[in-house]
Chain A
Amino acid sequence: MNESILIIGAGHAGVQLAETLREHGHAGAITLVDQGAQQPYQRPPLSKDFVASAQEPEVLPLRSEDFYAQQRIELLTGARATAVDRAARTVTLSDGQQRGYDRLVFATGARNRVLSCPGAEDPRVIGLRTLQDAEILRRQLDGAQRVVVAGAGFIGLEFAASARARGIDVTVLHSAPRVLNRSVSAQLSNWFTQAHRGDGIELRLGEGVQSIDVQEDLLVQSSAGESCRADLVVYGIGVLPNIELAEASGLECENGILVDAALRTSDERVYAVGDCANVGRDGTRVRLESVQNAADQARSLARTLCGEPTAYSEIAWFWSIQGRHRLQIAGLAEPTDSSVLLGDPGSEKFSIARLRDGQLVAVESINRPADHAAARKLLARGERITEAMLAGASLKDLANAAPVAA
């Protein structure tokens, strides 16, 4: 395989793809283009350890510095792809140079939805996604006594818990009625609301940020007419997939770049992986924002590009660290799926099984990695696990038992 492969975006997906292509013996040129100026780095710690400690944190690179040269992967940092010409099979970069390709992969990720209310342009109003964001936030956090967090999704709550653990007064405003409403069951959402309130975070639900009066400090006005003083406002109100370049090149996009189960766009030479990819499978479409999804899609696509057509089929899993609590989710649930409690929420170690048509589809675990480990095995094996089976045995016992055909 001597084709040249150009990957736009050197995040978790892009770097993993380049690496796995070489592992599978791809001999042609591999070029990774990224608009960031630095070596590709790990994002998950940025909203957790990185801001949790007053000490200077170390950035964790995705791979060693000499990895790219050793693997003959051309890494172009500080280079933005500005145009794609699919007929000529070229990509134009921000410095004006043009690069040809045999196969093009969009691993462009997502960017923060920007808080757009009056006052949001103040430098003390900060979104958190990139290393630069995290470094700015760390500097501003030193000496801050009161922080308002806009949005109670994963990033907002991870940051809120980290800031609270540093003794900072934290108020979270969330316009939806439940925290983590896009991601977890109602039961788990309610449990997190109580847990964060118990740790001293003021959590206001159904109340968004209306405007910010920029004074010596910031006076945040909520949609419920309340006001709250802050040294700093941090927002985590969702992300938007980076589709503009793909869209401008005529590729079909809708909540991400549309790809088939093999991660291919309507152009057989062009693919998309990770946060920016909206994958069609079994008549549904799924776009996920997670490290596991990015890395596993990249591994799957590497096989396809090396001549072994592969439909992406990994079980999704997620994690979040919110203060003392470790959340792990295996599988994808829908709001309409039923919930079965496993264990005692009062013990702060429990799981919630989610079932659809009487069959296990996902497990949310709080401080119970054993349940998560077992759930991943069970879901990957595609076994039919029913509520009755969950009542009679632990997930670990079920995972260790002989498989039952679905």
Chain B
Amino acid sequence: MPTITFEQPNGTATDVEVAEGGNIMRAAVTNGIAGIVGECGGQAMCATCHVYVNPEDAAGLPELSEDEDEMLDCTTAERTANSRLGCQVSLGGALQSIRVAVPSEQV
């Protein structure tokens, strides 16, 4: 099964397995990963599932849509080149594992 590694600001890391097609926000919320909120339910409307993707895993990522790109300007923690909304990144296919850092602030 695809695996997501969540790294907290204090350095602790947690691995979460997801079904094919599962996204980062849903995996975090259903597994109780701190620091991922997902207030809008996964519709790229609230920008509270912001993560920083490990640059080495960037190649397999789905492309950034215009909507996600624009909503990333709404994040509470600083946006970087590695910023994504967790609800817009699904695992599966070529993307079987990914490491993401959880920002220190989400709201």
Contacts and interface: CB of A to CB of B under 8 A. Distances in A.
A42 B48 CA distance: 14
Interface in A20-65: 42-45, 48-49, 58, 60-64
A345 B26 CA distance: 34
Interface string B19-60: 000000010011110000011111111110000000000000
Contacts of A373: 47, 70-71, 73-74
Interface residues of B, number: 21
B61 interface: no
Judged by DSSP, the binding face of B is: loop
A374 B46 contact: no
A60 B39 contact: no
Contacts of B45: 319, 321, 326, 328
A373 B74 CA distance: 5
A326 to B, nearest CB: 7
Contact of A292 (B29, B31, B39, B44): B39
Interface stretch (A149-157, A159-167, A178-186, A364-372): A364-372
Nearest to A375: B74
B104 to A, nearest CB: 13
A64 B39 contact: no
Contacts of B71: 369, 372-373
Given A44-B41, A291-B39, A64 B70 contact: no
Contacts of A292: 39, 46
A372 B74 contact: yes
A292 B41 CA distance: 12
B43 A48 contact: yes
Contacts of A374: 73
Contacts of B77: none
Contacts of A296: 107
B70 A369 contact: yes
Contacts of A326: 45, 67
B29 A60 contact: yes
B88 to A, nearest CB: 12
Contacts of B107: 295-296, 299
Contact of A61 (B29, B40, B43, B73): B29
Nearest to A61: B30
B43 A376 contact: no
A370 B42 contact: no
16 contacts: A12-B39, A45-B43, A48-B43, A49-B42, A61-B29, A61-B30, A291-B39, A292-B46, A296-B107, A328-B45, A368-B70, A369-B44, A369-B70, A370-B70, A376-B74, A396-B73
- 4 residue pairs, one from A and one from B, having the closest CB atoms: A64-B32, A369-B70, A370-B70, A373-B74
